[in-house]
Amino acid sequence: MVSRRTFNTLLAAGVMTSMTPEIIKAQDVSKAKNVVLVHGLYADGSSWLDVIAHLQNAGLNATAVQNPLLSLEEDSAAVRRTLAQQDGPTVLVGHSFAGTLISETGGDPIVSALVYVAARAPDAGEDFGALAAKFPKPPASAGVVKAGGFFWLSEAAFLKDFANGLEPARARALYAVQEPAADALATAKTATAAWRVKPSFYQVSTEDRTINPELERFLAKRMKATTIELASGHLSLVSHPREIAGLILTAAGHNRIS
């Protein structure tokens, strides 16, 4: 359980932001020793490497899913396979599009809490594209390239709008491992919304050029998540791995941030 004292310590340290009272609150969570990390579009599991190092230093078992980015069913199956390998309470973490996947799979009894990192968080059956269209269109959308039933980001859009805020060499390396995604993912709708039944945590990226930051704030507020904001682009898990690991540790019921 995350105690009020621990929560206040995080708040005083500047980890928590000044959100509305219904969002800033300590949540009761089971203590977990396992973390499953799911990457989103335009990426692969290597994007979690720096976060994994912090989690391992804190004594947690961390596993990154290699998300195939083929369909909601196949991607969810990959997450469920990894969850089945865990031996106790597990925090399920999703970045970007993977917020859809953890919403779909997070009802698994082994999942103790959900962490959304600059992520989608659709409700059951929701048309997320229609929801996102109510907010200003993020710049990265203009850089989407499509061919052969798949889509990806152009190099220019990836470096400027997806990996903004990163060292250029790191951004180019991440571009080199970008996975194309199947067109079917763009309109996929979840059958469930695990955030309605599980303790949920959300990180907003205030400099995000891939998902509108106001949309992120809306999603965090809607799920009544314990929320932090970082002055980061979309790849906060790469630019701010310590802070992301700290949020995950809080969701796992641990008091220390490595």
Confidence of residue 29 (pLDDT cuts 50, 70, 90): confident
Instruction: Given CATH 3.40.50.1820, say whether it is the number of domain 4-251.
Output: yes
DSSP 108-126: STTEEEEEEES---PPTT-
Least confident window among 25-29, 78-82, 134-138, 143-147: 25-29
**Per-residue pLDDT averaged across 195-207, rounded?**
98
DSSP 41-93: TT--GGGGHHHHHHHHHTT-EEEEE----S-HHHHHHHHHHHHHT--S-EEEE
pTM higher than 0.85: yes
**Per-residue pLDDT averaged across 23-27, rounded?**
47
Number of helical (H) and strand (E) elements in the chain, helices listed first: 10, 9
Name the residue among 84, 100, 97 with its Cα closest to residue 36: 84
Number of C-beta neighbours around residue 235 at 10 A:
27
Burial pattern 178-190, b for ≥16 Cβ within 10 A else e, equals bbbbbeebeebeb
| Length reported for the chain | 258
In the chain, what are the domain boundaries?
4-251
Confirm if 147 and 136 have CB atoms less than 8 A apart. no
Confirm if 257 and 249 have CB atoms less than 8 A apart. yes
Least confident window among 19-28, 115-124, 128-137, 168-177: 19-28
State residue 151's pLDDT score.
Answer: 98
**Per-residue pLDDT averaged across 23-51, rounded?**
87
